[in-house]
Structure 1
């Protein structure tokens, strides 16, 4: 039995969401265009406005939504895409979530927790590929407590191979109490990420058996409140699409965003929207009636981008290369690549179904994905400068909301990309990347010649062997 702080009432009102979606049906086209215009002014939408966007069915209006999402992505984040990699530390779990390969009663899963030496080996492999940003993922088990997680964070930061190093560690783990989060803050955590999975109370209860870490809806829902109370001002929210009706989950994400903004003055740093995938010995994937089609997934991404214009959006390698290619322009700011999610998977560099939570859709190498991004005109970034320069939480949002964040992101993206091209890229990718950097510098020169000169001076330092150069 787990003894958690109880919450008499939470900020997700299921009936209110149902009512808003019902009232949003058959929206007037003029009103939809006014909502789009508000979003293009980089103003967060209200729930009733998002509900109306979710009920748009007219193909022409939908295309206006998609185009507005593309425009917002470009205006706020530019053409840069931040890259990271997941690193699964352990798959022990006390929960029995019906949809998850890690669930306690799944006898097909081989339970494994990386030792300190195995963790170092995994980090060295990732560094040898060029990664600078990781998200560490843990099963929800009492052995993965704050002290254990802090220790793994320290190991990751201390592990360096040749010119490689990890400069930012994010965490996806079970919710903690405030004291636990403080330990992670001291260890140098970046973003703490908790996915509510589903915001619908009844469905949550059905999918998450009681008397487990995850069985308490409110304890999980307020997990990021406690993180922010502990001083972690970058947090990430998400829902697992396919557990319940996708329009309800989009509304839940928006209400969660609003709650954090109203309570702490700053909303989530990132929003994630993974779709459910098959997992070994897990029947739920074939049973759920709420799977999200590619066309509806396109709506999810676009409407979240319009609803919260300034928040980062993550699209993972759960999705196929074809889907990622289509969805990235609609508002994505972060992706992973070269990912392996089996425990110890980077050493084997392949699927390890008996040690994986679900199946990946994109198994391409980091270099392959970066080359494709170059071909599409996207600037690869491994930047971590904001976090080490104090541009986090409300300070980051103060820059991001008016669309000024790319004044930092584009220069720092160029600098980290240059490091990758020199130290890790294939010849083909290096040539494509150098050409892309030239194009970026030309665009900067047209608006700010002094900035171009500053970037070129820093690029020269990198050519001379200096690393971790940033604005």
Structure 2
């Protein structure tokens, strides 16, 4: 048991302290006990921009039910898809056109990406978190086994992953500046640069100077999930911690760009709110930034809500595979040059199929736990691992994924960057 667990939340790593339990009940029952989710905290950098207001206005005005089959037909008959066309393609009216959308999306993907599919793996460095997000397995009040890799353990995990053939890694932490400091993450970036050609980060949002530091340590790109662009729903789901501040999270990618990151990734967690509006908002976020910073590499993910430890009350909005396929095809037609990543949350059959249509990037050898890549890759038991953030559906190794993608007629790519 660490001092963090003992002093902040738990008596014995399992039972909440009386103070923590009282605070948890208070913020759950009394909305007035929560901080203003639109107000920045003192350590948060403010970017002078009206992009958030513009985007929220677009989302508020979007009514998916207002679009007809004729609107969808007009969109599909165009070579260049505009914002209104994209809205139509995301609408329920587009459901009967899904096969046609998939054919058009496949052609568009082939035009810009060929038949390639990029393969990477995530590495979770720590699962400590200071946020209370009711849908996340890492939330600070959830009784899970917490772990933080030290420098030697980090490097050991990286070597195990690199020896499997992986050349791109995405490193993740829970959102705790205390247990995953910038210096700690910077050390991980320096180590990762020894083993991998492409290094990504999915960590808590940071300020421009912090992103500049992490880029200098070796990070190439940053991914931040907004989770939901529905401000009211966001406030209901994020009850405590830095993540509660909606606008600071929204501007994370722009701060990363200003800090020198080569690429930025975006996503909503589909199922937390109206998935059509969240999908629309995610793509519009990219669309607006793409016009402001055209030299940056942009990518979109499209994860659906998955079960987590100790929570069977999430009640996600229904987002089925057909709806997810529709979203991904609409993304490809609206943003033809943007990379699209499909999570291991999805099944093998779905990932194999969508990689031939719209997706350009896919993970392999995935674990959302801490410190278990060696046991996962060598099939040995190891109790010294931290609990996972969520359940995954596709557990294929790199070799399995590589062979399956090749068998589907795709060309798996492990890296396409050269550092001179």
Whether the TM-score (by the shorter chain) exceeds 0.5 is yes
* Residue 339 (1) aligns with residue 375 (2): no
| 2:272 aligned partner | 243
Change (3 A) 1:15 1:235: closer
Which secondary structure state, in structure 1, belongs to the residue aligned with residue 137 of structure 2? coil
Equivalent residue for 1:127, pick from 150, 155, 162: 162
Scaled by the length of structure 1, the TM-score of the pair is 0.74
Per-residue deviation, 1:6: 5.0
CA distance in 2, matches of 1:16, 1:226: 22
* Residue 88 (1) aligns with residue 124 (2): yes
Per-residue deviation, 1:55: 2.1
Scaled by the length of structure 2, the TM-score of the pair is 0.83
- Whether the 8 Å CA contact 1:12–1:199 is kept in 2: the answer is no
| 1:35 aligned partner | 75
Q: Deviations over 1:223-262 (max 9, x none)?
A: 1111111121311111111111111011101220122123
* Residue 370 (1) aligns with residue 406 (2): no
CA distance in 1, matches of 2:94, 2:310: 40
Equivalent residue for 1:302, pick from 326, 329, 333: 329
Per-residue deviation, 1:15: 5.3
Change (3 A) 1:371 1:133: same
| 1:106 aligned partner | 142
Change (3 A) 1:13 1:132: closer
CA distance in 1, matches of 2:90, 2:219: 35
Change (3 A) 1:24 1:51: farther
* Residue 182 (1) aligns with residue 212 (2): yes
| 1:221 aligned partner | 250
Runs of 4+ in 1 over 6 A off after TM superposition: 350-353
* Residue 258 (1) aligns with residue 298 (2): no
Equivalent residue for 1:16, pick from 39, 55, 58: 58
- Whether the 8 Å CA contact 1:21–1:52 is kept in 2: the answer is no
- Whether the 8 Å CA contact 2:64–2:88 is kept in 1: the answer is no
* Residue 206 (1) aligns with residue 236 (2): yes
Residue segments in structure 1 that go unaligned for 5+ positions in a row: 159-164, 390-471
Structure 2 counterparts to residues 32-71 of structure 1, below 5 A:
32-38=72-78, 41=79, 43=80, 45-55=81-91, 57=93, 61-71=97-107
Which secondary structure state, in structure 2, belongs to the residue aligned with residue 103 of structure 1? coil
Q: Deviations over 1:383-417 (max 9, x none)?
A: 1326x36xxxxxxxxxxxxxxxxxxxxxxxxxxxx
| 1:436 aligned partner | none
Change (3 A) 1:79 1:198: same
* Residue 361 (1) aligns with residue 397 (2): no
Per-residue deviation, 1:146: 2.3
Let me know the Cα RMSD of the aligned residues. 2.2
Query: Which of 338-347 and 261-270 deviates more?
Result: 261-270
Per-residue deviation, 1:22: 4.8
| 2:308 aligned partner | 279
| 1:168 aligned partner | 198
* Residue 139 (1) aligns with residue 174 (2): yes
- Whether the 8 Å CA contact 1:276–1:291 is kept in 2: the answer is no
Q: Deviations over 1:65-124 (max 9, x none)?
A: 1110111111111111111000000000000111000000001x1111001111111111
Query: Which of 52-61 and 178-187 deviates more?
Result: 52-61
Per-residue deviation, 1:372: 1.0
CA distance in 2, matches of 1:61, 1:368: 33
CA distance in 2, matches of 1:60, 1:281: 38
| 1:313 aligned partner | 340
Which secondary structure state, in structure 2, belongs to the residue aligned with residue 62 of structure 1? helix
- Whether the 8 Å CA contact 2:88–2:94 is kept in 1: the answer is no
Change (3 A) 1:22 1:333: closer
Which secondary structure state, in structure 2, belongs to the residue aligned with residue 237 of structure 1? strand
Equivalent residue for 1:193, pick from 219, 223, 233: 223
Which secondary structure state, in structure 2, belongs to the residue aligned with residue 295 of structure 1? helix
Residue segments in structure 2 that go unaligned for 5+ positions in a row: 1-34, 36-40
Per-residue deviation, 1:196: 0.4
